[in-house]
Amino acid sequence: MVSSAHSLRLGFVLLAVVAAALVVVAVACMAPSAAAAGVDDGDWEITAESEATVERGLRWLAVNQGPEGNWGSNDLGLVAVGGLAFLSAGHLPGIGEYGQAAERALSFVVKNAKPSGLLNIAGPQRDTYNHGLSTFVLGQAYGMTGDARIGKALDRALKLIARTQGPAGGWAYQARSEDGDLSLSVMQAKALRSAVDSGFEIPPSVIEKAIANVRQHYAPQGGKPNRPEAELKKLPGQFTYSKGGGKATVAMAAAGVVCLQEFGQYDDWRIAKSMERVNAEIAKVKPQQAHNGKMPFDAYTLNYVGQSLYQVGGPGWKRHYPALRDAIVGAQVIDPKNPANDGKWAAGSHVFGKSGDLYGTAVAVFVLSIPNRYLPILQKGNTDPGSTDQGSTDEKTVGPRP
């Protein structure tokens, strides 16, 4: 039997979904569409095979989630990404086939938020990773539902991000006011952008410093990033893990692109330079039907590669997404007699065991669901820090717009 309180909550969520949908439609009307950016919408983005693959992945996530909603993981960021997989496929908390699974994942994150706003219950060295990932997902969830409980946790989380930004615009591994590497800066920047999409006001100076910090992580091949900009534009290069050109991975190339794109820096010349690396790596992806759980990139890299490809759009999206999509489809484990395996992917690196399967499966479902464009982050809009659309210039204000 459904309780009256539960019925009221469902009614609230339905009303919130309608309101959020109207906001998204309004933003979409004002913002350049994917087609306007050079992407032709059509049947080529989603296939019958990719749809079936997403469904099998969602089933794995739901069956293996557990009553607590956390897949046995204490990394709130991973649990949040599990919730994001359901959202990206159009399953809102408490509504529809996987609504309860989405609700449990998001509830686990929210109920474990600390009084400071920190979204981490693992070791302190994971503060910023778990906090950034969780805040990003809560921003998407709030934008799609308007749930006040999520909004409260999101508000505190955003204030913590603003409070712990380092002098050079970055963030440290632990939640304190220091600067770190690009992986940390991008994660917090994405969380801020996620909140902007959902109607929260962020102090413009925080975003401006974050963008500047990301740009400082761009380097030409061979180092020497302090060359004149006119010279750098002529050389191959990309965003790197550390300033000065350290760890020039495809993940960092894509991550820097995602950050600048999402903050509306579409004309930044560093984007095209870094996408040369990203597209070259995607071009190496080979078709497969091994169904062994091994994706073309590890989950961390795939998350940024898929997003960068979509955010930049244009011919690159149409040329490379099908290959990426089909490789993910061909890697999914198919084992109908074993629910613990059927429908999953492995993370590939960084995270292993069941948590790795959670991470790999959630990211794969998310990338395959990007063409749905359900998430607020996939709606292109004006987030120029100098724009009046950015919201209040009050440096102390972080909260939803009235």
DSSP characters over 263-325: TT-TT-HHHHHHHHHHHHHHTT-------SS--SS-HHHHHHHHHHHHHH-HHHHHHHHHHHH
Cα(157)–Cα(373) distance, rounded to whole angstroms? 25
Cα(275)–Cα(237) distance, rounded to whole angstroms? 10
Domain-wise residue ranges, the chain:
46-392
Domain 46-392 has CATH 1.50.10.20: yes
Give the pLDDT confidence of 209-218 residue by residue, as tens digits: 999 999 999 9
| Mean pLDDT, rounded, of the chain | 84
Q: Which residue has the higher pLDDT, 17 or 357?
A: 357
Phi, psi (5° rounding) for residue 218?
-90, 140
On the question of pLDDT at 194 being above 80, the answer is yes
Cα(87)–Cα(306) distance, rounded to whole angstroms? 17
Give the pLDDT confidence of 166-177 residue by residue, as tens digits: 999 999 888 777
- The identity of residue 293, as a single letter, is G
- Per-residue pLDDT averaged across 38-59, rounded? 84
Residue 151: the pLDDT is 96
Give the pLDDT confidence of 321-338 residue by residue, as tens digits: 999 999 999 999 999 999
Cα(207)–Cα(205) distance, rounded to whole angstroms? 5
